[in-house]
């Protein structure tokens, strides 16, 4: 089991994650990315996954490195 973490405060809303990993990421009305199905945890949003799938690509493409995988 892995955890995908979105440090939303740092997100600049570039849309790259949603472009490379639309199964997990979408752009929200606030202009920032949203990790689908995630839950708020402090300042971050987190999602537990069995298979990180394209989240690796999303993390690698994010220009401000606000997507983490643990
Ligand atoms: S790639 Fe990073 S900065 Fe760009 S929208 Fe996604 S989370 Fe935000």
d(CA 68, CA 55): 9
Overall domain count for the chain: 1
pLDDT of residue 8: 97
Kindly report the pTM of this predicted structure.
0.96
The alpha carbon of 1 and the centre of ligand 1 are apart by a number of angstroms equal to 23
Q: Which of 9, 11, 23, 69 to probe ligand 1 with, by most ligand atoms within 8 A of CB?
A: 11
The parent domain of residue 19 ranges over: 2-69
Closest CA to 22 of 53, 49, 68: 53
The alpha carbon of 40 and the centre of ligand 1 are apart by a number of angstroms equal to 17
CATH number at residue 46: 3.30.70.20
Model pLDDT for residues 42-54, shown as the tens digit of each residue: 999 999 999 999 9
Nearest CA to ligand 1 atom 4: 14
The two structure tokens encoding residue 47: 């999602």
- DSSP summary character for residue 10: G
Residue 13 · residue 62 · CB < 8 Å: no
pLDDT of residue 26: 98
Model pLDDT for residues 3-55, shown as the tens digit of each residue: 999 999 999 999 999 999 999 999 999 999 999 999 999 999 999 999 999 99
């Amino acid at each position: 089991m892995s955890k995908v973490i979105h440090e939303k405060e740092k997100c600049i809303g570039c849309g790259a994650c949603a472009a490379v990993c639309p199964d997990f990421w979408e752009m929200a009305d606030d202009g920032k990315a949203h990790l689908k199905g995630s839950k708020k945890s402090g300042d971050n949003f987190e999602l537990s996954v069995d298979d990180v799938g394209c989240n690796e690509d999303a993390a690698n493409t994010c220009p401000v490195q606000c997507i983490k995988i643990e």
